[in-house]
């Protein structure tokens, strides 16, 4: 894993290999296995980017658990000038459930800071966040990540589910942009 790749107009170098990803995902899974015995948590996976992380994480769970997948769409509200985020495909009953949100990367934290209050309206018993990657230097909102794979610098990454303009999601490890 030493080669540079080009996706569209940009060049990327290897950053996290499959062994590193597997090691941290195994650790997160064992923490969740420990914390959620007899709780039958509901995982809500935010598409598209988190699909590969969610799949590998879910396979490593040995507790009873459910999983569902949503997309977040942002549109311009009629009255507000800011963008409003809404969940598409959220048909699971969240009331009194132990919910774990699965996200690929928390960057500014804006997406989750808008989405989490919407979920709280459903009155889950608990609401936690599992994220593969986090860029603390970019964080602008108060988001607490409960299960985190890697803290990374504020540089664009792709691979392992994350894309650059539609491409790169199928790469089995994480690459970082050469600036
Ligand atoms: P936030 O709302 O936390 O700023 O952004 C979260 C979303 O932005 C992520 O779910 C992801 O889709 C996208 N994102 C943020 N940083 C990166 C990055 O370095 N690479 C890719 N491919 N997507 C990113």
The pLDDT of residue 84 is 74
What is the domain range of residue 24?
Answer: 17-152
Closest atom, ligand 1, to C-alpha of 106 = 3
| Active-site residue identified among 107, 146, 163, 172 | 107
The pLDDT of residue 115 is 93
**Cα–Cα distance for residue pair 111/128, rounded to 1 Å:** 15
Contacts of 14 (CB under 8 A, 6+ apart): 1, 2, 3, 173, 174, 175, 176
For residue 52, being part of any structural domain is answered with yes
For residue 160, being part of any structural domain is answered with no
Residues with CB under 6 A from ligand 1: 49, 103-111, 156-158, 162-164
Number of folded domains that form the chain: 1
Q: Is 107 a known active-site residue? A: yes
3-class DSSP state for residue 49? coil
Would you give the end-to-end CA distance of the chain in angstroms? 19
The pLDDT of residue 80 is 47
Nearest to 155 by CA among 131, 129, 174, 130: 174
The CATH number for 100's domain is: 3.40.50.2020
For residue 147, being part of any structural domain is answered with yes
How much is the pTM?
0.95
* Phi–psi pair at 107, nearest 5 degrees: -105, -90
Ligand 1 probe mutation, 135, 151, 162, most atoms within 8 A of CB? 162
For residue 173, being part of any structural domain is answered with no
- Ranges of residues in the chain with a pLDDT under 70 are 1-2, 76-82
For residue 168, being part of any structural domain is answered with no
For residue 179, being part of any structural domain is answered with no
Q: Inter-axis angle of helices 51-59 and 18-35, to 10 degrees? A: 60
Model confidence pLDDT, tens digit, residues 48-79: 999 999 999 999 999 999 999 999 987 765 55
For residue 170, being part of any structural domain is answered with no
For residue 144, being part of any structural domain is answered with yes
Ligand 1 probe mutation, 52, 84, 105, most atoms within 8 A of CB? 105
């Amino acid at each position: 894993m030493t080669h540079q790749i080009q996706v569209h107009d940009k060049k990327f170098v290897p950053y996290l290999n499959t062994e590193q990803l597997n090691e941290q995902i195994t650790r997160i899974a064992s923490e969740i296995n420990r914390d959620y015995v007899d709780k039958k948590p509901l995982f809500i996976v935010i598409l598209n980017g988190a699909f590969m992380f969610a799949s590998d994480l879910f396979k490593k769970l040995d507790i009873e658990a459910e999983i569902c997948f949503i997309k977040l769409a942002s549109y311009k509200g009629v009255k507000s000038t800011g963008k409003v985020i809404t969940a598409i495909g959220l048909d699971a009953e969240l009331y009194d459930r132990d919910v774990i949100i699965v996200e690929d990367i928390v960057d500014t934290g804006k997406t989750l800071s808008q989405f989490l209050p919407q979920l709280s309206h459903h009155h889950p018993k608990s609401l936690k966040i599992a994220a593969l990657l986090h860029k603390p230097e970019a964080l602008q909102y108060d988001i607490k990540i409960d299960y985190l794979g890697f803290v990374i610098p504020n540089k664009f990454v792709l691979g392992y589910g994350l894309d650059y303009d539609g491409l790169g999601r199928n790469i089995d490890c994480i690459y970082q942009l050469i600036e």
